[in-house]
Homo-oligomer: A and B are copies of this chain.
Amino acid sequence: MNQEYAYLALESWLLQQLQTGRWQVGERLPSVRMLCRERGVSKATVIHAYQRLEAQGRIEARPRSGYFVCAPLAAVRVSDRSDESTLIPQPVPVTSSELLTDIMMQGAAFDLLPGQQAPYLPAGLLLLNRAIARALRQSRGVSHQSYEEPAGFLPLRQLLAQRYQRDACQVTADQLCITSGCQNALYLALKASCQPGDLVAVESPGFYGVIQLLETLQLKVIEIPVKSGVGMDLKALERALMHWPIRACVVTPSFATPGGTLMPAGEQQCLLELAERYDLVVIEDDIYRELSFAGRLSPLKARDTQDRVILCGSYSKTLSRDLRLGWAISKRWHARIVYLKLMTQLASSHYVQQGLYDYLNSGEYDRYLRHRVTELYGQAQDWISAIQRRWQDQIVFDRPQGGLCLWVTWQCPIDTLALYPRALQQNVALTPGPLFSASGDFRQALRLSFAQPCTAAHEAALDRLQGLMHQ
């Protein structure tokens, strides 16, 4: 028998013996030496098999006494309880329906086909994973006995600050706090700068994660319309500012989801002037900017001479959603953000930060990004053709200049929210317009992503959607 698998063979033999009741619960198992003799295997093999069974909760080790049979586990309990819990009322938040949470989870995949998984990892991500794995291999007892500095690994913060400086944004490492992704950065930024009951202006349509986060933080939402090609309507924002004591404004100047709009430079300047005049905290969601089709852009924060902007970013949209690493940048609010991070999660993993640092520093990220942006540009054109072929005169949308999505509004009366469950039955995962508003508007709109290539399967999904709309 192959020595490598001897312990697995022994493990399954032991399991069989346990099942047939050779040893009763509480009874002592044969000693390692006895079992070596009985089964003709090495001591290491017996110990390995016993340890695996112990990890599974089948047997337990008692100091200086050997191994004993445990009571059988209620293995079916998980599914039992699962059924039960759907019947018992649970304390769920009143403002978010299960349907919306479901759509949110599906929508986060940015794919019209539900449950799709890329068959392989792009080379750029393979290198990222290798960099993190290398950081793990090279950790020498540095990190397991202490927590990383709450603000995060300094070399990574310096490198990220440098990258912003390259984009004309003069931020420094001591203004940057590493977070568990961009949603976590938005949470910390809002929590640091607002009190429960405060009013916060958001884009409408806008990112559902922000709207729900505001509700969770007991902040009040004021929706400001987004204008085609312009972004948040600053005239509407100013009217709101004149009437209400608005504390903060969450805005995505570059390729906001779902609209995909790039806010022109003049508008960005004007927004900062309003912030100054009305003492507004501006929270910039900066996760799509690097996905620009026309070269590098500066964030809004680059124009922020009055330290009014808290910039929130991550590489979830450019690199990997599984990295769970983002940042919040602000001089004014930095100490408070770091303190809140310390309170709510102590620190971030060192090895992930070290791995990301190495990856960025090698130049591989920029290489991957260039390739990815070219790919996204091509995919955007394909998706636009695909929808124009089907709905030419019935839809309006802006041609994207970057980002991951198209915001498509039908001019005939359709209800995309009602369409969602029917489409899902036909294996089409829609992201309906009402998900992007606290007031349930945009029933005639869908967010359509070009993060995936428009394959034959996607074309077929669009056909099914067309069929459903005509029913």
Does B121 lie within 8 Å of A129, measured CB to CB?
no
Of B140, B213, B324, B451, the contact of A347 (CB 8 Å cutoff): B324
B residues less than 8 Å from A367 (CB atoms): 51
Q: In chain B, what residue has the closest Cβ to A218?
A: B196
Q: Is A305 in the interface zone, CB < 8 Å from B?
A: no
Which of A15-23, A72-80, A272-280, A415-423 sits within the interface? A72-80
B residues less than 8 Å from A204 (CB atoms): none
Q: Mark A88-107, 1 if CB is under 8 A from B, else 0.
A: 00111100100001000100
Cα distance A305–B143 in the bound complex, in angstroms:
39
How close is A435's CB to chain B, nearest CB, in angstroms?
14
Does B331 lie within 8 Å of A85, measured CB to CB?
yes
Does A324 lie within 8 Å of B343, measured CB to CB?
no
Which of A52-60, A228-236, A380-388 sits within the interface? A52-60
Interface residues of A in 407-461 (CB under 8 A from B): 451
Q: Is A170 in the interface zone, CB < 8 Å from B?
A: yes
Known: A331-B85, A367-B51. A121 touches B141 (CB 8 A): yes
Which of A36-44, A171-179, A395-403 sits within the interface? A171-179
Q: Is A118 in the interface zone, CB < 8 Å from B?
A: yes
Cα distance A54–B60 in the bound complex, in angstroms:
57
Which of A247-255, A256-264, A314-322 sits within the interface? A314-322
Does B181 lie within 8 Å of A345, measured CB to CB?
yes
The bracket for how many chain A residues form the interface is: 35 or more
How close is A347's CB to chain B, nearest CB, in angstroms?
7
B residues less than 8 Å from A81 (CB atoms): 172, 174-175, 331
B residues less than 8 Å from A345 (CB atoms): 180-181, 183-184, 187, 324
Does A55 lie within 8 Å of B136, measured CB to CB?
no
Scoring A51, A108, A125, A136 by chain B CB atoms within 10 A of each residue's CB, the highest score goes to: A136
B residues less than 8 Å from A209 (CB atoms): 343, 346
Cα distance A461–B296 in the bound complex, in angstroms:
54
Known: A81-B174, A172-B78, A345-B187. A140 touches B166 (CB 8 A): no
Known: A142-B117, A216-B340, A346-B209. A137 touches B148 (CB 8 A): no
Does B141 lie within 8 Å of A183, measured CB to CB?
no
How close is A60's CB to chain B, nearest CB, in angstroms?
7
B residues less than 8 Å from A174 (CB atoms): 78, 81-82, 85
Interface residues of A in 113-136 (CB under 8 A from B): 117-122, 125, 129-130, 132-133, 136
How close is A367's CB to chain B, nearest CB, in angstroms?
6
Q: Is A375 in the interface zone, CB < 8 Å from B?
A: no
B residues less than 8 Å from A187 (CB atoms): 343-345
B residues less than 8 Å from A370 (CB atoms): 61
Known: A180-B180, A345-B181. A139 touches B121 (CB 8 A): yes
Q: Is A470 in the interface zone, CB < 8 Å from B?
A: no
Scoring A319, A333, A346 by chain B CB atoms within 10 A of each residue's CB, the highest score goes to: A346
Does A57 lie within 8 Å of B163, measured CB to CB?
yes
Cα distance A108–B146 in the bound complex, in angstroms:
6
Does B141 lie within 8 Å of A119, measured CB to CB?
yes
Q: In chain B, what residue has the closest Cβ to A214?
A: B343
Q: Is A109 in the interface zone, CB < 8 Å from B?
A: yes
Chain A positions near chain B (C-beta within 8 angstroms):
48, 51-57, 60-63, 70, 73-74, 77-78, 80-82, 85, 90-93, 96, 101, 105, 108-111, 117-122, 125, 129-130, 132-133, 136-137, 139-150, 158, 161-163, 165-166, 170, 172-175, 180-181, 183-184, 187, 196, 209, 212-213, 216, 295-296, 319-324, 331-336, 339-340, 342-352, 360-367, 370, 451
